[in-house]
Amino acid sequence: MFGFHYRLERSAIGLVAFIVIVASIGGLIEIAPLFTIDETVEKAEDMRVYTPLEVAGRNIYLREGCYACHSQMIRTLRDEVDRYGPYSLAVESSYDHPQLWGSKRTGPDLARLGNKYSDAWHVTHMNNPRDVVPESVMPAYRWLLRDQLKTEDLGDHLRAMRAVGVPYTDEQIQFAAQDAYGQANPDSPEASGVAERYGEATNIRTFDGRTGPLTDMDALVAYLQMLGTLTDVAHTSETAEVE
C-alpha cells in the first residue's frame, strides 16, 4: 500500500489523475441524492414562511454566532428524541438559506425550542444566562435589549429569500416593516395584518416585555419561539409511527 503511494507521489500526472478520480467519487456521492430530492423531502401542507420579525431574529442569531454552539437538527438516535423531541425532517428546513443544522453542541439543540420557555425566560437568559441556568457558559447579550431593531430593509430581505425559492407574496414584502412592528405590538393596528398574512398560529406578543419601538431582543426571541413550529409534520409523523 505504501509502495503504491510512494510511486504515485513521484508521478505528477498520476497523482493529479488520482486526486481527480477520488474527488469525483466524493462529489458524486454528494450530488447524486439531489436528483431525487423531490421524492425524499417530505410534504407539509401547513408549512408557513418566517415572518419579517423572525427573519430579523434569524439574522441576529447568525450575526452573534449562536450557530457555533447550538445545532438545529435532532438526529434519529433514541437519546436525542427522548431529550429534544421528534427528530428533524428535511421539510422543516426548506425555507432556511443557509441551513443551520450544525453539529457543535456547547449548548443544547434548538430545533424544538419554540414556546418551550416563556418570553421572559428568554429575555432573562440573554441578559445573563446564569440567572436561569447557573452552570451555563454562554456569554451575556445585554445589548440586545437596548439596541433598536432596523426594519426599513426587511422587505429587501424577504425579496432576496423569494429569489431563492421561499414563497413570499408581494403583499408580505410590501408590509414587511409594518408586520414586524405589529407582531411585537399585539394591541397595535398593524397586528391584525400579521395574522392575516402569516396565519392565526403566529406568535403575536411583546417578546421583550415592552410595547413600542422594536429591539433586537424582540426579533431574536420571536425567532427562538418559532423554532420547530412552522409545521406540525414531525409530530404527525411521530404519531403515525407509534400507531
Whether residues 56 and 32 fall in one domain: no
Closest CA to 127 of 214, 210, 222, 208: 208
Tell me the three cell numbers of residue 103. 453539529
Amino acid at 198: Y
The answer to the question of residue 201 being in a domain is: yes
Q: What is the pLDDT of residue 163?
A: 97
Residue numbers of the chain with a pLDDT score lower than 70: 1-2, 37-39, 237-243
Supply the pLDDT for residue 15.
84
- The pLDDT assigned to 226 comes to 97
N-terminal to C-terminal alpha carbon distance within the chain: 52
Q: Same domain, yes or no, for 15 and 110?
A: no
What values do phi and psi take at 148, rounded to 5?
-75, 135
CATH of residue 231's domain is 1.10.760.10
The pLDDT score that the predictor gives to residue 73 is 95
Please give the model's pTM, rounded to 2 decimal places.
0.84
Distances 242 to 69, 73, 134, 209, 236 between C-alpha atoms, Å? 32, 21, 37, 39, 10
Write down the residue that cell numbers 422587505 correspond to: 155
Q: What is the count of structural domains for the chain?
A: 2
Instruction: Let me know if residue 45 belongs to a domain.
Output: no
Yes or no: say if 137 and 106 are a contact pair by the CB < 8 Å rule: yes
80 in Cβ contact with 74 (< 8 Å)? yes
Which pLDDT belongs to residue 30?
82
Give the pLDDT score at 237: 61
Contact predicate 238/217, CB 8 Å: no
Range of the domain at 31: 2-40
